[in-house]
């Protein structure tokens, strides 16, 4: 089911960035949208969002990125909820603001995304029923 969902995102030209793809999947599957980190180097991490359901982690953006970039099929990203204090964390302010808005008011968040993204979300949900 996850692979089909991600393929539909790519077919509808949804890019693997921000919280839109994982938020869509979390709402579709009834999973939890989780914030944490992905490891870049031994001491560097990037703020990241994924979906958790039934003890599994679904990194929708990573899966989608691999579809867009065939050279990165062996890309192995580890996800962490907690990291060592001395680590450096990279984050993109706009994506963090998306996360905050989504957690405060999901309806307001979806109204803030482009109309074509809302239409894609509706289309994908209908096609997977």
pLDDT tens digit at each of 129 positions of the chain: 899 999 999 999 998 889 999 999 999 999 999 999 998 777 789 999 999 999 999 999 999 998 888 777 777 788 999 988 888 898 889 999 999 999 999 999 999 999 999 999 999 999 987
Q: What is the DSSP letter of 85?
A: T
pTM: 0.89
For strands 32-39 and 44-53, give the pairing: antiparallel
Question: Residue 1's pLDDT is what?
Answer: 84
Long-range pairs, 121-126, Cβ under 8 A, ≥24: 121/24, 123/12, 124/5, 124/8, 124/9, 124/12, 124/24, 124/28, 125/28
């Amino acid at each position: 089911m996850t692979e089909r969902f991600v393929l539909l995102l790519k077919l509808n030209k949804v890019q693997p960035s921000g919280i839109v793809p994982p938020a869509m999947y979390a709402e579709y599957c009834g999973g939890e949208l989780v914030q944490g980190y992905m490891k870049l180097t031994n001491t560097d991490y990037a703020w990241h969002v994924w979906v958790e359901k039934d003890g599994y982690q679904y990194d929708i953006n990573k899966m989608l990125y691999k579809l867009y970039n065939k050279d990165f099929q062996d890309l192995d990203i580890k996800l962490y909820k907690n990291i060592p204090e001395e680590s450096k964390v990279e984050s993109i302010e706009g994506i963090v603001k998306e996360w905050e808005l989504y957690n405060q008011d999901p309806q307001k968040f979806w109204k803030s995304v482009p109309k074509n993204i809302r239409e894609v979300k509706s289309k994908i949900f209908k096609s997977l029923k």
